[in-house]
Amino acid sequence: MTYTSNFETTQVQLNKPILTPYSTGEAVKELQQLLKHWQCYFAKIDGIFGPQTTAALNCFEYWMFLAEDGIVHENTWRCLYKGAPVDMPLLKKGSRGELVEKIQERLLWSGFFESAITGYFGIVTENAIHTLQEDTGLVPDGIVGDRTWFELSKIREYGC
């Protein structure tokens, strides 16, 4: 199995099954192998979607800005293969909402953002994104597009 983190990949349908806790079988083994590859699963590959798989999946969902529901959907599979968030909106100055809060939280952990988490993408957030982009070799435009989502997903909180 080959895994890449190619954020230039076009959208593809993987036709993978939806997995939920207590699922079993080869698809769960594949899930566990992918989670292990992305360094969030450290248990035995046994094909049983138990508590350790659920915990690893929840961390992965969090890192990829997915709903933390413990269910492996099509977008979860796509993120697992890509190693990056998929189908994320373009966010820029003036954007608002939960995703902006999540971005501000990541930027705060990484030291790029030193302000209150408000859910509003203002000048402080734009400047933090600009700095992140410069530090990671991206075009520093202050806009959160695919490549910036990828860099944000690499910012990891300890304990997850």
Domains with residue ranges and CATH for the chain? 26-82 (1.10.101), 98-153 (1.10.101.10)
Q: Do the beta carbons of residue 149 and residue 85 sit within 8 Å?
A: yes
pLDDT digits (tens, 9 = 90+) for 74-131: 999 999 999 999 999 999 999 999 999 999 999 999 999 999 999 999 999 999 999 9
Q: Residue 158: what pLDDT?
A: 59
* C-alpha torsion 155→81→53→28, nearest 10: 180
Q: Residue 6: what pLDDT?
A: 47
Which pTM does this prediction carry?
0.87
Could you tell me the pLDDT band of residue 15, with boundaries at 50, 70 and 90? confident
pLDDT digits (tens, 9 = 90+) for 16-68: 999 999 999 999 999 999 999 999 999 999 999 999 999 999 999 999 999 99
For residue 156, which of 97, 106, 102 has the smallest C-alpha distance?
106
Cα–Cα separations (whole angstroms), residue 93 to 65, 115, 159: 19, 16, 31
